[in-house]
Structure 1
Amino acid sequence: MANGENLYRFEVRTRGAGSPRIEALKADVRALGMGILRSARDTALYFVEGDLAPEELCLLGRFLLSDPVEETFEWREVSRQALHGSISEPDTVRIVEICRKPGVTDTVANELVRAAREMGIPCLNRAATGIRWELEADWLNETSLLKLTRVLLANSLIDRWEFGEINPIFPEGQLLVPPVEQYDLGIMDDDSLLSLSSERRLALDLTEMKAIQAWFVAQRREITDVELEMIAQTWSEHCVHKSFKADIEVIRDSKPSDRESAFPRIIHSIFNTYIKNTTEEIGAPWVKSAFVDNAGIVSFDDRWDLSFKVETHNHPSAIEPFGGANTGVGGVIRDIMGVSAKPIAVTDILCFGPPDISEDELPQGTLHPRLVARGVVAGVEDYGNKMGIPTVNGAVHFHPGYAANPLVYCGCIGLAPRGIHRNKPESGDHVIVLGGRTGRDGIRGATFSSMKMDGSTGEVAGASVQIGDPIIQKKALDVLLAARDAGLYNAVTDCGAGGLSSAVGEMARELGAEIDLSGLGTKYPGLAPWELWLSEAQERMVLAIPPRHIKAFSELCSIFECEFWDIGAFRSDGELKVRVK
Structure 2
Amino acid sequence: MSNYPHIFRYLRPDLADWQGQKIVQAAELHLGLKTGEIRLAQLFSLAEEAQEEQLLAFAEACIQDPLTDQIEINQLSWPAGFASAVAIAQLPGVTDDEGRSAQMAWADFFNLPFEPEEQRIFSQTIYLIEKDLTAEELKALAQRLLGNPLIHHFSYFKAQEGGFDRPFYVPKVQIQANKERQLIDLAPLSDEELLRLSKEMVLALNLAEMQAIRDYYGSEAVQTFRATKGLPAQPTDCELEVLAQTWSEHCKHKEFNALIHYKNLETGEEKDIHSLFKTFIKGATDNVAASLAEKGNDWLVKVFSDNAGVVKATDKHLFVWKVETHNSPSALDPYGGAITGILGNNRDPLGTGVGGAQLLFNTNVLCFGPPNYNKTLLKGQLHPRQIMEGVVSGIEDGGNKSGVPTVNGSIVFDERYSGKPLVYCGTAGIMPYDYLGKNSWEKPIDANDRIIMAGGRVGKDGIHGATFSSIEIDEHSPMSAVQIGSPITQKMLYDFMRVATAQGLIKCSTDNGAGGLSSSVGELAEISGGALVQLEKVPLKYAGLRPWEIFVSESQERMTLVVETEKWPALEKLAQQYEVELSDIGYFTNDGYLDIRYEEEQIALLSMQFLHEGVPQKEMWAEWEKPELQEPELPENLEYNQLLLDLMSSLNICSRESIIRQYDHEVKGKTILKPLMGAKGKAPQDAAVLRFDFSDYQGVAVSNGIIPRYGDIDAYQMSASAFDEAIRQIISVGGRLPNMTENDDIFWSINDNFCVPDSEFHPEHNPDGKLKLAKLVQMCQALYDMASFFDIPLTSGKDSMKNDFKAEGQKISVPPTILYSFTAKMKDVRQTISAEFKMPGDLIYQLGTTYNELGASEFYQLFGELGANVPKVRKEAAKALYLKVMQANEAKLIASSHDLSDGGLAVALAESCFGGDLGANIQLDQLGDLTAWQLLFSESNSRFLVSIAPENQAAFEEIMGDAAFFLGQVSDDQQLTIQLGQEELIQLSNEQLETAWSQTLSL
TM-score scaled to structure 2, two decimals? 0.54
Q: After TM superposition, list the pairs within 5 Å mapping 1:312-391 onto structure 2.
A: 312-339=325-352, 340=355, 341-358=357-374, 360-391=375-406
Which of 551, 554, 570 is equivalent to 2:572?
Answer: 554
Distance (Å, rounded) in 1 between the aligned partners of 2:497 and 2:65:
34
User: Match of 1:455?
Assistant: 475
- Tell me if the contact between 1:439 and 1:537 (Cα under 8 Å) persists in the aligned partners: yes
Contact map agreement 1:6 1:77 (CA 8 A) in 2: no
Q: Secondary structure at the match of 1:50?
A: coil
Equivalent residue number for residue 152 of structure 2: 159
Most deviating of 143-152 and 108-117: 143-152
Moved more, 113-122 or 274-283: 113-122
Deviations 1:21-54 (A, max 9, x none): 2222122122225143322222222222211011
Larger relative contact order (C-alpha < 8 A, sep ≥ 6)? 1
The equivalent of 2:452 in structure 1 is 432
Q: 1:97 aligns with which of 87, 92, 103?
A: 87
Query: Relative to structure 1, is the Cα distance of residues 26 and 281 closer, same or farther in structure 2, using a 3 angstrom cutoff?
Result: same
Deviations 1:64-100 (A, max 9, x none): 222121111112169xxxxxx9xxxxx9822211111
For structure 1, which segment, 61-70 or 560-569, has the greater mean C-alpha deviation from structure 2 after superposition? Answer: 61-70
Helix, strand or coil: the match of 1:265? strand
Alpha-carbon distance in structure 1 between the residues aligned to 2:310 and 2:82: 60
SS of 1:432's equivalent in the other structure is: strand
1:6–1:50 CA contact under 8 A, matched in 2: no
Offset from partner CA, 1:320-352 (integer Å, 9 cap, x none): 111111010111111111112121111110121
Q: 1:498 to 1:365 in 2, by over 3 A?
A: same
Task: Give the letter aligned to residue 110 of structure 1.
Answer: R
Which residue of the other structure, out of 47, 58, 70, is the alignment partner of 1:72? 70
What CA deviation, in whole Å up to 9, does each residue of 1:474-495 have, x standing for no partner?
A: 2222222222112223221111
1:6 deviates by 5.7
Q: List per-residue Cα deviations over 1:286-307 (Å, max 9, x = no partner).
A: 1110110010000012211000
Cα shift at 1:123? 11
- Are the structure 2 counterparts of residues 169 and 477 from structure 1 closer, same or farther at C-alpha, using a change threshold of 3 Å? same
Instruction: Report deviation, 1:121.
Output: 7.0
Deviation at 1:149, TM superposition (A): 2.0
The one of 579, 597, 605 equivalent to 1:579 is: 597
- Return the alpha-carbon distance in structure 2 between the equivalents of residues 483 and 133 of structure 1: 43
The more displaced of 63-72 and 160-169 is 160-169
Instruction: Give the alignment's Cα RMSD to 1 decimal.
Output: 2.3
Return the alpha-carbon distance in structure 1 between the equivalents of residues 386 and 7 of structure 2.
27
- Of 233, 236, 239 in structure 1, the residue corresponding to residue 248 of structure 2 is 236
Q: 1:254 aligns with which of 266, 272, 279?
A: 266
1:54 counterpart (36, 43, 52): 52
Alpha-carbon distance in structure 2 between the residues aligned to 1:387 and 1:38: 35
Tell me by how many angstroms 1:441 deviates. 1.0
1:535 aligns with 2:553: yes
Judging changes above 3 Å, is the alpha-carbon distance between structure 1 residues 50 and 77 closer, same or farther for their aligned structure 2 residues?
A: farther
- Whichever residue aligns with residue 452 of structure 1, its letter is E
SS at match of 1:392: strand
Q: Secondary structure at the match of 2:386?
A: helix
The verdict on how the C-alpha distance between 1:240 and 1:166 changes in structure 2, with shifts beyond 3 A counting, is farther
Q: CA deviation at 1:496?
A: 0.9
* Poorly superposed stretches of 4+, deviation over 6 Å: none
User: What letter matches 1:507 in structure 2?
Assistant: L
User: Do the aligned residues in 1 keep the contact of 2:88 with 2:154 (CA within 8 Å)?
Assistant: yes
Paired with 2:44 and 2:493, the residues of 1 have a C-alpha distance of 27
The number of residue pairs the alignment matches comes to: 557
Among 414, 417, 441, the alignment partner of 1:421 is 441
For 1:472, the equivalent position in structure 2 comes to 489
Partner in structure 2 of residue 11 of structure 1? 8
Q: Measure, in 2, the Cα distance between the counterparts of 1:168 and 1:72.
A: 22
Question: 1: distance between equivalents of 2:255 and 2:202?
Answer: 19
The residue that corresponds to 1:204 in the other structure is 205
Matched residue, 2:181: 180
- SS of the equivalent of 2:473 reads coil
Moved more, 144-153 or 169-178: 169-178
Residue number in structure 2 paired with 1:81: none
Determine if contact 1:529/1:580 at 8 Å carries over to the other structure: yes
Distance of 2:576 and 2:495 partners within structure 1: 12
Query: Counterpart amino acid of 1:349?
Result: V
Q: Is the 8 A contact 2:520 2:560 kept in 1?
A: yes
Tell me the equivalent position of 2:822: none
Do the aligned partners of 2:52 and 2:73 also contact (CA within 8 Å) in 1? no
Deviation of 1:229 (Å): 0.2
Q: CA deviation at 1:170?
A: 3.0
Say yes or no: does 1:23 pair with 2:42: no
Q: 1:308 corresponds to which letter in structure 2?
A: W
Q: Distance in 2 between matches of 1:288 and 1:111?
A: 39
- Aligned mates of 1:505, 1:18 — CA distance in 2: 52
Select the residue among 97, 109, 129 that pairs with 1:135. Answer: 129
How far is the alpha carbon of 1:389 from its aligned partner? 1.1
Report the CA distance between 1:575 and its aligned residue: 1.9
Query: Shift in Å at residue 173 of structure 1?
Result: 4.7
Which deviates more from structure 2 when the two are superposed, residues 50-59 or residues 511-520?
Answer: 511-520
2:324 corresponds to: 311
Q: 1:496 aligns to what SS in structure 2?
A: coil
CA contact (8 A) 1:362 1:404 kept: no
The question of whether the paired residues in 2 share the 8 Å contact of 1:6 and 1:49 is answered with no
> Cα–Cα, structure 1 residues 114 and 191, in superposed 2: closer, same or farther, change >3 Å?
same
Residues 56 and 121, structure 1, Cα contact 8 Å, conserved in 2: no
- Mapped contact 1:422–1:492 kept (Cα < 8 A): no
User: 1:519 Cα deviation (Å)?
Assistant: 1.4
For the pair 1:286 / 2:299, whether they are aligned, the reply is yes
- In structure 2, the gaps of 5 or more residues are 158-165, 224-232, 293-297, 434-438, 600-1003
Question: What residue identity is the alignment partner of 2:194?
Answer: L
Which secondary structure does the structure 2 equivalent of 1:245 belong to?
Answer: coil
Structure 1 distance, partners of 2:41, 2:207, is 52
| Distance 1:281-1:317 versus aligned 2 partners, 3 A rule | same
Q: Distance in 2 between matches of 1:400 and 1:27?
A: 24
Q: Percent identity?
A: 37
Task: Determine if the alignment matches structure 1 residue 271 to structure 2 residue 277.
Answer: yes
- Please report how far the alpha carbon of residue 171 of structure 1 lies from its aligned counterpart in structure 2 after TM superposition: 2.8
Q: What SS class does the counterpart of residue 371 from structure 2 fall into?
A: coil
Q: Partners of 1:253 and 1:175 in 2: how far apart?
A: 59
How far residue 250 of structure 1 moved from its aligned partner, in angstroms, is 3.4
Distance 2:372 2:177 in 1: 50
Shift of 1:379: 0.9
Q: Which of 509, 515, 518 matches 2:533?
A: 515
The whole-number CA distance in structure 2 between the counterparts of 1:278 and 1:155 is: 43
Distance 1:478 1:17 in 2: 36
TM-score, structure 1 normalization: 0.91
Q: In terms of mean alpha carbon deviation, does 510-519 or 117-126 score higher? A: 117-126
Q: 1:423 to 1:173 in 2, by over 3 A?
A: farther
1:200 CA drift (Å): 1.0
For the Cα contact (< 8 Å) 2:334–2:387, is it kept in 1?
yes
